[in-house]
Amino acid sequence: MLYHVRMDVCPPHDIDPAWFDALKAAEKEKAQELQRAGKWRHLWRIAGEYANVSIFDVADHDELHALLSGLPLFPFMSIAVTPLARHPSAIG
């Protein structure tokens, strides 16, 4: 199943910078791991925001939830998920 996912990151203002840097490094590693596995198909930054839009290709809602909730920055994210279906006019 394909999902369009928007993730907005909003860390607390008083977060320890060194700890947050470590979380961001772990997030990058996890995101790249999921991309190599074919689960995180596309990842785009939203210009001017600490946010991204992504396409995930996973078995079901439960797998998507497990992947998202396992991200290191998950506690600081606001996430919007939209399940996708093939459009009848799509040629690809």
Q: Which CATH homologous superfamily contains domain 2-83? A: Dimeric alpha+beta barrel (3.30.70.1060)
Let me know the angle formed at the C-alpha of 66 by 61 and 70, rounded to the nearest 5 degrees: 150
Domain boundary assignment for the chain:
2-83
> What pTM was computed for the model?
0.92
Please state, in angstroms and rounded to a whole number, the distance separating the CA atoms of residues 6 and 81.
Answer: 7
* pLDDT above 90 for 8: yes
List, for residues 59-76, the tens digit of each pLDDT value: 999 999 999 999 999 999
Give Cα 20 to chain centroid, integer Å.
17
pLDDT digits (tens, 9 = 90+) for 13-60: 999 999 999 999 999 999 999 999 999 999 999 999 999 999 999 999
